[in-house]
Structure 1
């Protein structure tokens, strides 16, 4: 069986202890919260967050404006269609009134002609 050179229990314990010490040393060497580099990074992050929020607000405002525009266009279209229906109905009523007037004139002319024939 092939055995690695760190196969001894004490060697493994020593390696784990060194790794823990390295992690602890890296944690301790971390800059404090009031370090200028940390403060600068936090300010940059905050600026990025604020810019993202601003872009989201602008997108939302643009989306709402587009929605309002779409609703206004739909309303204008419905109003135009309603006006068109009213115009067509008015034209139809006007044509029917003109047709009724023509028919009445023709009927009156026939009646008058019949009376003239009857008088002769």
Structure 2
């Protein structure tokens, strides 16, 4: 029994290329069939695909516009809240300053009353 001889690599590559070319030729012959119904269906599919692409682009544009409007509204709301917080902080500082002034006035009045009592007690002791 003799050895099995493989075809050389070049022959195998050539036959594979020929098979690919034959498959491609069959496919091209099938797709270039001048069938008007096939061409009409292909055109309809392409029109549907183009319409779908247009709708998707419009939806994406609308979504981007809504997102931009939402972000602008959030920024405006945040700015308004920051302004209100600033006003509230200023009012709180004013209340704290007023409370400090009232406490200082009250302490001065208490000291004056205490000094008056002390002076009256000293005056009674001298007499």
- Smaller-chain TM-score bracket: 0.5 to 0.7
> Structure 1: which 5+ residue stretches go unaligned?
none
* Cα displacement (A) at 1:2: 7.1
Matching of residues 1-120 of structure 1 within 5 Å: 3=6, 7=12, 9=14, 11-22=15-26, 24-25=28-29, 28=32, 35-111=43-119, 114=122, 120=127
Q: TM-score, normalised to structure 2's length?
A: 0.63
> Structure 2: which 5+ residue stretches go unaligned?
none
Q: TM-score, normalised to structure 1's length?
A: 0.66
Size of the aligned set, in residue pairs, is 116
For 2:19 and 2:116, locate their aligned partners in 1 and report how far apart those are by CA, in whole Å. 122
Stretches of 4+ aligned residues off by more than 4 angstroms: 1-4, 22-32, 112-118
Tell me the alpha carbon deviations over residues 52-100 of structure 1, each in whole angstroms, 9 at most, x when there is no partner.
1211221222123223323332332233223212211211111111211
